[in-house]
């Protein structure tokens, strides 16, 4: 499940056709309006800044293949830390030196300086400069689950829950509500966010740039080691 149903509350949903040539295979992602033959269709936000946000995706024909994890560890004298999971998703690592209150920049090659962290995404190993030995390190990342992990955590979906894929529609969560979702940019800090945006693939971020603002949305819960979900409240027209 891409959002936590125990804490997510919404009061309006609507079945909307998926725009031709587009695929929506995630839950809790930001959707935009595309008119096809005069009828509103749905697609994932691209983050161009000019899109019209219509809601969030709900797809009950889905077994998640990606999870978000936040770990807190003490860096050993070697500077090498083995994360709990391997097969990290490229570009999703966020690292923070909690001892010195400093963000660390992830790199994938070379030798890390005191402000960097070297990430081996395949093996799930991070290496820090030995000068950072003893610090408290926080690392957040997405990783690809194995088939066994998916079944152990989520079980199998009933075979008859296929309306979205068979009919070519998506349930759009609209109106107002609260959502705890994992469809967010794991590399940014949400603790000081005042306005939320949607970037490519409907991912929630704090980065302005050319991204698309999500009307009436704000953060109500920041991801942590104990809770990997981003909590937001929203009021969409």
Average pLDDT over residues 102-109: 95
Which pLDDT does position 156 carry in this prediction? 52
pLDDT in tens, 204-230: 999 887 899 999 999 999 998 888 899
CA-CA distances (angstroms) from residue 15 to 23, 170, 198, 234?
Answer: 15, 6, 21, 19
pLDDT in tens, 28-50: 899 999 999 999 999 999 988 88
- Assign residue 108 a region: left if phi > 0, alpha if psi is -120 to 50, beta otherwise? alpha
**DSSP string for residues in 35-73:** EETTEEEEEE----S---EEEEEE-SS----EEEEEEEE
Average pLDDT over residues 128-145: 94
Instruction: Give the integer Cα–Cα distance in Å for 27 and 44.
Output: 11
* Domain at 9-62+157-235: CATH code: 2.40.300
Per-residue pLDDT band for 155 (boundaries 50, 70, 90) equals low
Instruction: Give the integer Cα–Cα distance in Å for 190 and 209.
Output: 16
DSSP, res 226: S
CA geometry: angle 62, 30, 150, nearest 5 deg: 25
Average pLDDT over residues 162-180: 79
């Amino acid at each position: 499940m891409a959002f936590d149903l125990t804490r997510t509350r919404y009061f309006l949903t609507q079945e909307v056709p998926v725009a031709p040539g587009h695929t929506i295979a995630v839950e809790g992602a930001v959707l935009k309006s595309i008119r096809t033959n005069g009828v509103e269709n749905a697609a994932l936000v691209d983050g161009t800044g000019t899109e019209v946000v219509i809601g969030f995706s709900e797809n009950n024909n889905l077994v998640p293949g990606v999870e978000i994890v936040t770990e807190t560890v003490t860096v050993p004298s070697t500077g090498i830390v083995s994360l709990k999971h391997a097969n990290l998703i490229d570009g999703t690592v966020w690292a923070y030196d909690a001892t010195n209150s400093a963000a660390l920049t992830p790199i994938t090659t070379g030798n890390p300086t005191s402000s960097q962290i070297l990430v081996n995404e395949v093996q799930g190993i991070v290496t820090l400069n030995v000068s950072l030995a003893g610090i408290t390190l926080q690392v957040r990342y997405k990783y690809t689950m194995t088939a066994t992990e998916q079944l152990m955590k989520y079980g199998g979906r009933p075979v008859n829950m296929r309306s979205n894929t068979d009919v070519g529609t998506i349930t759009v969560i609209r109106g107002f509500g609260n959502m705890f979702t994992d469809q967010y940019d794991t590399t940014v800090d949400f603790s000081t966010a005042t306005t939320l945006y949607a970037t490519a693939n409907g991912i929630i971020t704090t980065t302005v740039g050319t991204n698309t603002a999500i009307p009436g949305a704000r953060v109500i819960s920041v991801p942590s080691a104990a809770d990997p979900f981003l909590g937001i409240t929203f009021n969409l027209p």
